[in-house]
């Protein structure tokens, strides 16, 4: 549906040019569109008409509109999983990371991943885990590639941990769209920086309702 949304956006573009620089949210099913000065305004307007519809969001006039749409897998436990690449001093590796809305950092990784990639240790600290315990952590420099964008990030190692987690410091620059009818989600980068927004919490609440 993301590709269908892009085609609708391109068809509407001549009409939308007078709103250049603003954001448009398109209800793919009905082709209705809504303008906002921010992404949040456009999305809220569209959702007031169809709360559960798949939306295509773009910045009008930006190259490609909504940039690099990618499918997100939803696993059997309801976790959102996103393919990311981690780059260290020795090598790089791609992982299907779990999107963790309770993690405010960049990425959390098992110690074996830090060793495998040859990450540079930059410090130590502590973190509050899901059980509300304060645990010691080690911190490493890492480059993280999400879709077509590379970020300088900090990875923390919490023992024991078997999964790679991606946190909100990185994902707050992305928009996630969920189609409850098909139980599918997509992610797209929609801005370069500035105001941070995230609809991931809302997405997960929808996932809970449709399980």
> pLDDT by residue (tens digit) across 131-189?
677 778 889 999 999 877 888 999 999 777 789 999 878 877 777 766 666 666 777 77
3-class SS at 10? helix
Q: How far is CA 27 from CA 40, 52, 102, in A?
A: 15, 10, 29
Q: What is the pTM of this model?
A: 0.59
Higher pLDDT, 2 or 133: 133
- CATH topology for the 74-169 domain: Cathepsin D, subunit A; domain 1 (2.40.70)
Higher pLDDT, 40 or 200: 40
Q: Is the pLDDT of residue 17 over 80?
A: yes
* Mean pLDDT (whole number) for 61-88: 72
In this structure, are residues 56 and 28 in contact, taking their beta carbons and an 8 Å threshold? yes
25-144-115 Cα angle (round to 5):
150
3-class SS at 36? strand
Looking at the chain, the domain(s) classified CATH 2.40.70.10 span 74-169
- C-beta neighbour count of 38 within 10 angstroms: 14
Bridge partners, residue 79, by sequence? none
- C-beta neighbour count of 187 within 10 angstroms: 23
* Residue 88: per-residue pLDDT: 93
CA-wise closest residue to 109 among 81, 82, 86: 86
* Residue 1: per-residue pLDDT: 59
């Amino acid at each position: 549906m993301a590709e269908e949304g892009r085609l609708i956006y391109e068809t509407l573009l001549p009409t939308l040019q007078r709103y250049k620089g603003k954001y448009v949210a398109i209800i793919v099913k009905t082709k209705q569109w809504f303008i906002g000065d921010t992404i949040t305004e456009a999305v809220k307007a569209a959702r007031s008409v169809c709360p559960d519809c798949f939306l295509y969001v773009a910045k009008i006039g930006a190259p490609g509109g909504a940039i690099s749409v990618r499918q997100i897998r939803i696993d059997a436990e309801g976790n959102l999983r996103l393919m990311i690449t981690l780059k260290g001093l020795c090598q790089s590796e791609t992982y299907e990371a779990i999107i963790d809305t309770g993690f405010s950092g960049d990425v959390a990784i098992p110690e074996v991943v830090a060793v495998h990639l040859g990450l540079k240790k930059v410090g130590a600290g502590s973190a509050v885990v899901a059980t509300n315990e304060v645990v010691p952590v080690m911190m490493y420099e890492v480059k993280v590639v999400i879709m077509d964008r590379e970020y300088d990030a900090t990875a923390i190692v919490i023992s024991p941990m078997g999964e790679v987690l991606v946190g909100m410091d990185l994902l707050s620059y992305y928009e996630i769209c969920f189609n409850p009818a098909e139980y599918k989600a997509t992610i797209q980068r929609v801005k370069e920086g500035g105001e941070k927004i995230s609809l991931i919490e809302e997405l997960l609440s929808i996932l809970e309702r449709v399980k």
